[in-house]
Structure 1
Amino acid sequence: MTTGNRLGRRPIALVTGGRRGIGRAIVVSLAARGFDIALADLEHDSDAVSTLDDARAAGAIAAFYSCDVSNVDGHAALIHAIEAEMGPIECLVNNAGISVQKRGDLLEITPESFDRLLATNLRGPFFLTQRVAARMLEQRSPRGYRSIVNVSSANAFAASINRGEYCISKAAITMATRLFAVRMGEAGIGVFEVRPGVIRTSMTQVAEADYDQRIRDGLTPMPRWGMPEDVGDSVAALAGGAFRFSTGDAIHVDGGLHIQRL
């Protein structure tokens, strides 16, 4: 979708996996905070159309870009299209991710399952960030603050042996965040990790009854499910420069799940 170059109007945020769930909430929160949106996802379906409509209702220019983040060879074309149609990317949100195909015994994880998951959850975001970061360093921002936000998971620190490859991918995002924070720090570009806890989305539906009971039993100090909007608002605050002298940090959006308790 061509929108025309809008440089000078609002900063542009590229959100991967933005058409539904947490990604949708991030898109809408960023739009409400003053960003134009490049929504990159696999399908331009009814979910994508609805999310774009909500972003536009919040005042944003919003465009869809077809993207499989695991296809590293397609990253250059994606960035080129966004820059040509909208302008330079000033915020990258690496939200696209997949869960395990089947929860099961750690001792039965297959190389195929491991490779599939890490290609989308780690390898793809790493190399997309590499390309966007390089472009950020080549270009000046007329608005000042720029950011990269990686959406990981409570499984970056909490071991779930029935989805080991997922945990490994999210733990690696923690180090990737720190590495890029150090590399981009001199340019004043903030790099952050957001760790959602138990968030009510289609991805968690498979374990809904289990989480309902565990929340009732005290899993989190705040005794409720997280909502996608909880994550979206947190990402938007980071992207908007609310923490300008911070970088490399992990922000927990988990109702206190990460707190060790006796």
Structure 2
Amino acid sequence: MSLSPVILVTGASRGLGRGISEELARTGHSVAIHYASNRAAADETLAACRAVATSPLQQFVLVQGDVSKADDRRAIFDGTIAAFGRIDGLINNAGIAPRVRADLLDVTEESYREVNGINLDGPFFLSQLAAKWWLAHPGESRLPGGYKLIFISSLSAYAISVNRGEYCVSKAGLAMTTQLFAARLAEHGIQVLELRPGIMATDMTAGVKDKYDKMLADGLVPQKRWGTGADVGMAVRAIFQGLFPFTTGDVINIDGGFHLRRL
């Protein structure tokens, strides 16, 4: 059983999830590294976490499952508890883009259900499992300030793309989910926050890199660069170190200033 704080990170095999997991490992946390199907990538995250860990008390395990399925969510959560005996934080990071970028009027029900099942239903119901466990174990968190619940959303929570409407709907839903859980859990000392990344260098954006390289150079993002998993990981580190003690239900933009309204 781990003696360091235990964090479950969904979608941790690549991209933002890997960056978050590595930063947690670097700052003394144990991590349950969730992946859906890419075991090889998950093993790479596992090795990276072990390489930067700072304490022999830290542990890292893989947990597999499809967050859109109830039985898999239960297996992911129970696997974390079985491995560590506890959970101190949950980071809902797992997400997918539509398989086909279709015009809003051509979005299929299959695509809508798939994207929202992973991006919205999964985080909602996995957070239920964590919250119920925390309420049954009050005052036992190893994190400064208590248990913590984080939702990784996207600038697509407010910036529309009519060729991937189902994705925008899922991320807007996560923004409301954050507020709902924050309001429900605040009196129990459980902090809930939304991290809202901007244009990030991940597998999801690899196919449109040239397009966004030009847009970034032209000033679409004031800081004129891609975001990285490390950028999100450092924000998570600050939260998990208790540096936002009087904040809950809020949005932390990690987007290089994209959200600023400019004339």
Q: TM-score range by the shorter chain?
A: over 0.9
Amino acid at match of 2:129: R
1:102 to 100, 104, 111: 100
Structure 1 residue 185 displacement after superposition:
0.3
Amino acid at match of 1:150: F
- Further displaced range: 18-27 or 239-248: 239-248
Count of aligned residue pairs for this structure pair: 256
- Report SS of the residue matched to 1:160: coil
Q: Is the 8 A contact 1:44 1:64 kept in 2?
A: no
- Report SS of the residue matched to 1:89: coil
Amino acid at match of 1:163: R
Amino acid at match of 1:40: H
1:217 and 2:235 are equivalent in the alignment: no
- Report SS of the residue matched to 1:251: strand
Misfit runs of 4+, over 3 Å: none
User: TM-score normalised to the size of structure 1?
Assistant: 0.94
1:127 to 122, 125, 128: 125
- Report SS of the residue matched to 1:243: coil
Give 1:81's aligned residue.
79
Residues 168-188 of structure 1 show CA distances to partners (whole Å, capped at 9, x for unaligned) of 000010000000001110111
2:59 to 52, 58, 61: 61
1:91 to 89, 92, 103: 89
Structure 1 residue 142 displacement after superposition:
4.8
Structure 1 residue 164 displacement after superposition:
0.6
Structure 1 residue 45 displacement after superposition:
2.4
Paired with 1:12 and 1:41, the residues of 2 have a C-alpha distance of 17
1:41 and 2:35 are equivalent in the alignment: yes
- Percent of pairs with identical residues: 43
Amino acid at match of 1:70: S
Structure 1 residue 161 displacement after superposition:
0.9
Give 2:245's aligned residue.
244
Structure 1 residue 44 displacement after superposition:
5.4
- Further displaced range: 219-228 or 90-99: 219-228
2:16 to 19, 22, 38: 22
Structure 1 residue 12 displacement after superposition:
0.2
Query: Structure 2 vs 1, CA of residues 217 and 210 (structure 1 numbering), >3 Å: closer, same or farther?
Result: same
Q: Is the 8 A contact 2:65 2:75 kept in 1?
A: no
Structure 1 residue 85 displacement after superposition:
1.8
Residues 195-233 of structure 1 show CA distances to partners (whole Å, capped at 9, x for unaligned) of 110111111011111101111111011011111111111
For structure 2, list consecutive stretches of 5 or more residues without a partner in the other structure.
Answer: none
- Further displaced range: 9-18 or 229-238: 229-238
Give 1:167's aligned residue.
168
- Report SS of the residue matched to 1:74: helix
C-alpha RMSD of matched pairs (Å)? 1.2
- Report SS of the residue matched to 1:248: coil
Q: Is the 8 A contact 1:146 1:239 kept in 2?
A: no
